[in-house]
Structure 1
Amino acid sequence: MKQPAIATQDHGPAGSQNATAPQAPATPEPAPNPALIRVPLSVRWRDLDAFNHVNNSKFLSYLEEARLRWMVTLPGHGMDDHVAPVVAAAHLNYRRPIEWPNELDVELFVERLGTTSLSIGHRIVGANDPGALYCDGNVVLVWIHRETGQPAALPEPVRSACSAG
Protein backbone atom coordinates (compact mmCIF):
# COMPACT_ATOMS: atom_id res chain seq x y z
CA MET A 1 0.00 0.00 0.00
CA LYS A 2 1.39 3.34 -1.01
CA GLN A 3 1.73 5.92 1.77
CA PRO A 4 0.26 9.37 1.09
CA ALA A 5 2.76 12.14 0.52
CA ILE A 6 3.30 14.38 3.49
CA ALA A 7 3.66 18.06 2.79
CA THR A 8 6.70 19.58 4.44
CA GLN A 9 7.94 23.10 4.66
CA ASP A 10 11.57 24.18 5.03
CA HIS A 11 11.70 26.43 8.06
CA GLY A 12 15.36 27.34 7.67
CA PRO A 13 17.86 27.32 10.53
CA ALA A 14 16.66 26.50 14.03
CA GLY A 15 13.06 26.12 12.92
CA SER A 16 12.60 29.75 11.94
CA GLN A 17 9.68 30.52 9.68
CA ASN A 18 11.92 32.48 7.32
CA ALA A 19 13.85 30.44 4.76
CA THR A 20 16.06 33.37 3.77
CA ALA A 21 19.75 33.55 4.66
CA PRO A 22 20.42 33.77 8.42
CA GLN A 23 20.97 37.25 9.76
CA ALA A 24 23.81 38.20 12.07
CA PRO A 25 22.65 38.24 15.71
CA ALA A 26 21.99 41.65 17.18
CA THR A 27 24.52 43.06 19.60
CA PRO A 28 23.44 41.80 23.02
CA GLU A 29 22.22 44.19 25.64
CA PRO A 30 24.13 44.28 28.91
CA ALA A 31 22.88 42.17 31.81
CA PRO A 32 19.93 43.90 33.51
CA ASN A 33 21.47 43.68 37.00
CA PRO A 34 25.00 43.89 38.37
CA ALA A 35 26.98 40.69 37.90
CA LEU A 36 27.30 38.27 40.80
CA ILE A 37 30.37 36.90 39.02
CA ARG A 38 31.99 36.82 35.60
CA VAL A 39 33.85 33.55 35.01
CA PRO A 40 36.32 33.05 32.17
CA LEU A 41 36.24 29.57 30.62
CA SER A 42 38.07 27.96 27.72
CA VAL A 43 36.21 25.80 25.25
CA ARG A 44 37.69 22.31 25.41
CA TRP A 45 38.03 20.02 22.40
CA ARG A 46 35.97 17.38 24.24
CA ASP A 47 33.05 19.84 24.45
CA LEU A 48 32.46 19.57 20.69
CA ASP A 49 29.85 17.38 19.03
CA ALA A 50 29.69 15.83 15.56
CA PHE A 51 28.83 19.23 14.07
CA ASN A 52 32.12 20.70 15.36
CA HIS A 53 30.52 23.10 17.80
CA VAL A 54 29.92 22.93 21.55
CA ASN A 55 27.21 20.40 22.37
CA ASN A 56 24.09 21.93 23.91
CA SER A 57 24.54 19.92 27.13
CA LYS A 58 27.94 21.53 27.73
CA PHE A 59 26.28 24.92 28.08
CA LEU A 60 24.71 23.59 31.31
CA SER A 61 28.16 22.48 32.48
CA TYR A 62 29.55 25.96 31.83
CA LEU A 63 26.70 27.50 33.86
CA GLU A 64 27.20 24.98 36.67
CA GLU A 65 30.91 25.83 36.83
CA ALA A 66 30.14 29.55 37.09
CA ARG A 67 27.50 28.99 39.81
CA LEU A 68 29.91 26.86 41.84
CA ARG A 69 32.67 29.43 41.52
CA TRP A 70 30.24 32.07 42.80
CA MET A 71 28.97 29.90 45.65
CA VAL A 72 32.47 29.14 46.97
CA THR A 73 32.86 32.90 47.55
CA LEU A 74 29.97 32.77 50.06
CA PRO A 75 30.41 31.91 53.74
CA GLY A 76 29.58 28.20 54.04
CA HIS A 77 29.26 28.02 50.24
CA GLY A 78 25.59 28.99 50.55
CA MET A 79 24.66 25.87 52.50
CA ASP A 80 25.12 24.18 55.84
CA ASP A 81 24.47 20.84 57.52
CA HIS A 82 20.72 21.41 57.28
CA VAL A 83 20.02 23.26 54.01
CA ALA A 84 21.41 23.09 50.47
CA PRO A 85 20.41 24.37 47.02
CA VAL A 86 19.01 22.23 44.22
CA VAL A 87 18.35 23.20 40.63
CA ALA A 88 14.58 23.45 40.16
CA ALA A 89 14.56 24.76 36.57
CA ALA A 90 16.92 25.74 33.79
CA HIS A 91 16.05 27.90 30.80
CA LEU A 92 18.61 28.35 28.04
CA ASN A 93 18.25 30.36 24.86
CA TYR A 94 20.88 29.08 22.43
CA ARG A 95 21.68 32.20 20.43
CA ARG A 96 24.55 30.96 18.25
CA PRO A 97 26.96 28.03 18.10
CA ILE A 98 30.20 28.11 20.06
CA GLU A 99 33.17 26.95 18.04
CA TRP A 100 36.62 25.75 19.06
CA PRO A 101 39.04 27.27 19.88
CA ASN A 102 37.27 29.94 21.89
CA GLU A 103 37.43 31.82 25.18
CA LEU A 104 34.16 32.56 26.96
CA ASP A 105 32.87 34.64 29.84
CA VAL A 106 29.91 33.35 31.83
CA GLU A 107 28.05 36.18 33.55
CA LEU A 108 25.64 35.49 36.39
CA PHE A 109 23.21 38.01 37.87
CA VAL A 110 20.18 38.01 40.15
CA GLU A 111 16.86 37.99 38.33
CA ARG A 112 14.61 37.30 41.31
CA LEU A 113 15.28 36.82 44.99
CA GLY A 114 12.56 34.86 46.77
CA THR A 115 12.03 33.46 50.24
CA THR A 116 13.30 29.96 49.44
CA SER A 117 14.51 30.38 45.86
CA LEU A 118 16.81 32.41 43.69
CA SER A 119 16.55 32.93 39.95
CA ILE A 120 20.04 33.46 38.54
CA GLY A 121 20.13 35.01 35.09
CA HIS A 122 23.03 34.07 32.87
CA ARG A 123 24.79 35.08 29.69
CA ILE A 124 27.57 33.26 27.88
CA VAL A 125 29.54 35.71 25.76
CA GLY A 126 32.83 35.76 23.90
CA ALA A 127 35.70 36.79 26.17
CA ASN A 128 37.42 38.55 23.29
CA ASP A 129 34.14 39.68 21.71
CA PRO A 130 31.52 40.58 24.35
CA GLY A 131 29.14 41.33 21.47
CA ALA A 132 29.06 37.60 20.69
CA LEU A 133 26.11 36.33 22.74
CA TYR A 134 26.03 32.54 22.68
CA CYS A 135 23.42 31.86 25.33
CA ASP A 136 21.18 33.60 27.84
CA GLY A 137 18.41 32.56 30.19
CA ASN A 138 18.16 31.61 33.86
CA VAL A 139 18.45 28.85 36.41
CA VAL A 140 16.20 28.63 39.46
CA LEU A 141 17.77 27.33 42.66
CA VAL A 142 15.62 26.29 45.60
CA TRP A 143 17.10 25.76 49.05
CA ILE A 144 15.78 22.64 50.75
CA HIS A 145 16.07 20.95 54.12
CA ARG A 146 18.49 18.08 53.57
CA GLU A 147 16.50 15.70 55.80
CA THR A 148 12.98 16.39 54.54
CA GLY A 149 13.47 17.76 51.02
CA GLN A 150 11.07 20.58 51.86
CA PRO A 151 11.83 24.20 50.87
CA ALA A 152 14.00 26.13 53.33
CA ALA A 153 14.66 29.84 53.76
CA LEU A 154 17.59 31.23 51.79
CA PRO A 155 20.69 31.35 53.97
CA GLU A 156 21.58 34.88 55.07
CA PRO A 157 24.95 34.90 53.22
CA VAL A 158 23.13 34.12 49.95
CA ARG A 159 20.50 36.81 50.56
CA SER A 160 23.19 39.35 51.47
CA ALA A 161 25.33 38.56 48.41
CA CYS A 162 22.30 38.88 46.14
CA SER A 163 21.12 42.13 47.71
CA ALA A 164 24.53 43.85 47.62
CA GLY A 165 25.18 46.36 44.94
Structure 2
Amino acid sequence: MTRRRKKTEDAAGTPAAKPRRRKPANTQPPTPASAAQPVADGAPPLLMRAPIPVRWRDLDAFNHVNNANYLTFLEEARLQWLQSLPGPWVSEDVAPVLAAVQINYRRPIEWPAQLIVELYGERVGNTSITIGHRIVAENDRGIVYCDGNAVLVWIDRHSGKAAELPDAVRRGCGG
Protein backbone atom coordinates (compact mmCIF):
# COMPACT_ATOMS: atom_id res chain seq x y z
CA MET A 1 0.00 0.00 0.00
CA THR A 2 1.49 3.36 -1.00
CA ARG A 3 0.89 6.55 0.90
CA ARG A 4 0.15 9.68 -1.05
CA ARG A 5 0.80 13.16 0.16
CA LYS A 6 -1.86 15.76 -0.30
CA LYS A 7 -0.60 18.24 -2.90
CA THR A 8 -1.71 21.79 -3.40
CA GLU A 9 -1.74 23.10 -6.93
CA ASP A 10 -1.47 26.55 -8.41
CA ALA A 11 -3.80 27.94 -11.09
CA ALA A 12 -1.88 26.12 -13.86
CA GLY A 13 -2.28 22.78 -12.10
CA THR A 14 1.38 22.46 -11.11
CA PRO A 15 2.22 21.45 -7.55
CA ALA A 16 2.85 24.50 -5.39
CA ALA A 17 5.74 24.54 -2.96
CA LYS A 18 5.03 25.04 0.70
CA PRO A 19 5.62 28.73 1.46
CA ARG A 20 8.51 29.46 3.78
CA ARG A 21 9.25 32.44 5.94
CA ARG A 22 12.43 34.22 5.00
CA LYS A 23 14.73 35.78 7.55
CA PRO A 24 16.46 39.05 6.66
CA ALA A 25 19.95 38.75 5.20
CA ASN A 26 22.78 38.95 7.66
CA THR A 27 24.30 42.40 7.62
CA GLN A 28 26.85 41.70 10.34
CA PRO A 29 30.41 42.16 9.00
CA PRO A 30 33.06 39.49 9.47
CA THR A 31 35.10 39.89 12.62
CA PRO A 32 38.77 39.20 11.89
CA ALA A 33 41.19 39.10 14.77
CA SER A 34 43.72 41.90 14.32
CA ALA A 35 46.24 39.61 15.93
CA ALA A 36 45.30 35.97 16.34
CA GLN A 37 43.99 35.50 19.86
CA PRO A 38 43.49 32.27 21.81
CA VAL A 39 39.87 31.51 22.69
CA ALA A 40 40.70 29.33 25.73
CA ASP A 41 43.68 27.74 27.40
CA GLY A 42 45.28 25.34 24.94
CA ALA A 43 42.84 26.20 22.13
CA PRO A 44 44.19 27.42 18.80
CA PRO A 45 43.96 31.17 18.18
CA LEU A 46 40.74 32.50 16.66
CA LEU A 47 41.37 34.05 13.25
CA MET A 48 37.85 35.11 12.25
CA ARG A 49 34.14 34.73 12.75
CA ALA A 50 32.42 35.15 9.38
CA PRO A 51 28.63 35.40 9.08
CA ILE A 52 27.21 33.35 6.22
CA PRO A 53 23.50 33.29 5.31
CA VAL A 54 22.00 30.05 4.01
CA ARG A 55 20.50 30.59 0.57
CA TRP A 56 17.53 28.69 -0.86
CA ARG A 57 19.80 27.39 -3.63
CA ASP A 58 22.05 25.70 -1.03
CA LEU A 59 19.33 23.11 -0.33
CA ASP A 60 19.20 19.63 -1.82
CA ALA A 61 16.32 17.23 -2.46
CA PHE A 62 16.17 16.38 1.25
CA ASN A 63 15.46 20.05 2.07
CA HIS A 64 18.70 20.70 3.94
CA VAL A 65 22.03 22.19 2.89
CA ASN A 66 23.91 19.89 0.56
CA ASN A 67 27.14 18.56 2.08
CA ALA A 68 29.27 20.13 -0.69
CA ASN A 69 27.95 23.59 0.24
CA TYR A 70 29.52 23.29 3.69
CA LEU A 71 32.86 23.43 1.85
CA THR A 72 31.71 26.54 -0.04
CA PHE A 73 30.83 28.25 3.26
CA LEU A 74 34.30 27.39 4.61
CA GLU A 75 35.99 28.64 1.44
CA GLU A 76 34.10 31.95 1.66
CA ALA A 77 35.22 32.43 5.28
CA ARG A 78 38.86 31.62 4.42
CA LEU A 79 38.81 34.17 1.60
CA GLN A 80 37.25 36.80 3.88
CA TRP A 81 40.04 36.14 6.38
CA LEU A 82 42.79 36.29 3.74
CA GLN A 83 41.39 39.56 2.35
CA SER A 84 41.38 41.03 5.86
CA LEU A 85 45.13 40.52 6.27
CA PRO A 86 47.22 43.71 6.38
CA GLY A 87 49.52 42.92 3.49
CA PRO A 88 49.75 40.79 0.36
CA TRP A 89 48.86 37.11 0.65
CA VAL A 90 48.78 36.43 -3.10
CA SER A 91 50.81 37.82 -6.00
CA GLU A 92 51.71 37.13 -9.60
CA ASP A 93 54.40 34.78 -8.29
CA VAL A 94 52.77 32.97 -5.33
CA ALA A 95 49.27 31.82 -4.47
CA PRO A 96 47.60 29.47 -2.00
CA VAL A 97 46.09 26.15 -3.01
CA LEU A 98 43.89 23.91 -0.93
CA ALA A 99 46.00 20.81 -0.25
CA ALA A 100 43.67 18.97 2.12
CA VAL A 101 40.37 19.40 3.89
CA GLN A 102 38.86 17.36 6.67
CA ILE A 103 35.25 17.86 7.70
CA ASN A 104 33.07 16.21 10.32
CA TYR A 105 29.38 16.67 9.56
CA ARG A 106 27.68 17.03 12.94
CA ARG A 107 24.09 17.92 11.99
CA PRO A 108 22.10 19.10 8.96
CA ILE A 109 21.61 22.79 8.23
CA GLU A 110 18.07 23.76 7.30
CA TRP A 111 16.78 26.88 5.59
CA PRO A 112 16.37 29.60 6.70
CA ALA A 113 19.46 29.88 8.84
CA GLN A 114 22.18 32.36 9.66
CA LEU A 115 25.56 30.76 10.25
CA ILE A 116 28.89 31.76 11.72
CA VAL A 117 32.03 30.18 10.33
CA GLU A 118 34.81 30.24 12.91
CA LEU A 119 38.41 29.89 11.74
CA TYR A 120 41.30 28.94 14.00
CA GLY A 121 45.06 28.95 13.41
CA GLU A 122 46.08 25.36 14.15
CA ARG A 123 49.54 25.25 12.56
CA VAL A 124 51.89 27.61 10.74
CA GLY A 125 54.65 26.00 8.67
CA ASN A 126 57.26 27.30 6.26
CA THR A 127 55.04 26.91 3.18
CA SER A 128 51.63 26.04 4.59
CA ILE A 129 49.04 26.75 7.26
CA THR A 130 46.43 24.51 8.83
CA ILE A 131 43.19 26.33 9.59
CA GLY A 132 40.68 24.74 11.94
CA HIS A 133 37.05 25.49 11.20
CA ARG A 134 33.58 25.22 12.70
CA ILE A 135 30.20 26.15 11.31
CA VAL A 136 27.82 27.11 14.10
CA ALA A 137 24.36 28.65 14.40
CA GLU A 138 24.50 32.44 14.69
CA ASN A 139 21.89 32.55 17.46
CA ASP A 140 23.30 29.57 19.43
CA ARG A 141 27.02 28.86 19.06
CA GLY A 142 26.49 25.60 20.93
CA ILE A 143 24.83 24.23 17.76
CA VAL A 144 27.77 22.90 15.73
CA TYR A 145 26.97 21.87 12.16
CA CYS A 146 30.50 20.78 11.28
CA ASP A 147 34.13 21.04 12.32
CA GLY A 148 37.51 20.01 10.97
CA ASN A 149 40.46 21.70 9.27
CA ALA A 150 41.97 22.70 5.96
CA VAL A 151 45.59 22.88 4.81
CA LEU A 152 46.59 25.72 2.48
CA VAL A 153 49.96 25.51 0.75
CA TRP A 154 51.51 28.51 -0.99
CA ILE A 155 53.00 27.61 -4.35
CA ASP A 156 55.22 29.29 -6.88
CA ARG A 157 52.85 29.88 -9.82
CA HIS A 158 55.63 29.37 -12.36
CA SER A 159 57.21 26.16 -11.09
CA GLY A 160 54.24 24.68 -9.19
CA LYS A 161 56.52 23.99 -6.21
CA ALA A 162 55.90 25.02 -2.61
CA ALA A 163 56.82 28.64 -1.84
CA GLU A 164 57.54 30.44 1.41
CA LEU A 165 54.51 31.57 3.38
CA PRO A 166 53.87 35.32 2.87
CA ASP A 167 54.67 37.49 5.91
CA ALA A 168 51.08 38.83 6.02
CA VAL A 169 49.75 35.28 6.43
CA ARG A 170 52.33 34.42 9.10
CA ARG A 171 51.46 37.61 11.04
CA GLY A 172 47.73 36.98 10.57
CA CYS A 173 48.14 33.58 12.22
CA GLY A 174 49.97 35.14 15.18
CA GLY A 175 53.42 34.00 14.04
The 5 Å alignment of 1:132-143 reads 132-143=143-154
**Which position in structure 2 is the counterpart of 1:116?**
127
For residue 19 of structure 1, what is the aligned residue in structure 2?
none
Give the superposition deviation at 1:90: 0.7
- Percent identity at matched positions? 60
Matched residue type, 1:117? S
Q: Give the length in aligned residue pairs.
A: 135
Quote the residue 2:139 is aligned against.
128
**Separation in 2 of the partners of 1:100 and 1:90?**
25
Alignment of 1:13-162 (within 5 A): 32-162=43-173
User: 1:163 aligns to what SS in structure 2?
Assistant: coil
The Cα of 1:35 is off from its aligned counterpart by: 1.4
Distance change in 2, residues 1:77/1:70 (3 Å):
farther
- Structure 1 counterpart of 2:147, one-letter code: D
d(CA) in 2 for partners of 1:86, 1:153: 13
The answer for unaligned runs of 5 or more in structure 1 is 1-29
- Once the two structures are TM-superposed, the CA of residue 89 in structure 1 deviates from its matched residue by 0.4
Contact 2:45 2:122 in 1 (8 A): no
Please, what is the CA RMSD of the aligned residues? 1.4
Q: Extract unaligned runs of 5+ from structure 2.
A: 1-38
Higher helix content, 1 or 2: 1
Query: Shift in Å at residue 145 of structure 1?
Result: 0.2
Q: Which residue of 1 aligns with 2:31?
A: none
Aligned residue in 2 for 1:14: none
How far, CA to CA, are the matches of 1:77 and 1:98 in structure 2?
34
What is the identity, as a one-letter code, of the residue corresponding to 1:79?
V
TM-score, structure 1 normalization: 0.78
Structure 2 Cα separation of the partners of residues 84 and 71 of structure 1 = 11
| TM-score under structure 2 length normalisation | 0.74
Which one has a larger percent strand, Structure 1 or Structure 2? 2
Q: Which amino acid aligns with 1:43?
A: V
- Equivalent-residue separation in structure 2 for 1:75 and 1:120 (angstroms): 18
C-alpha distance in 1 between matches for 2:58 and 2:100: 23
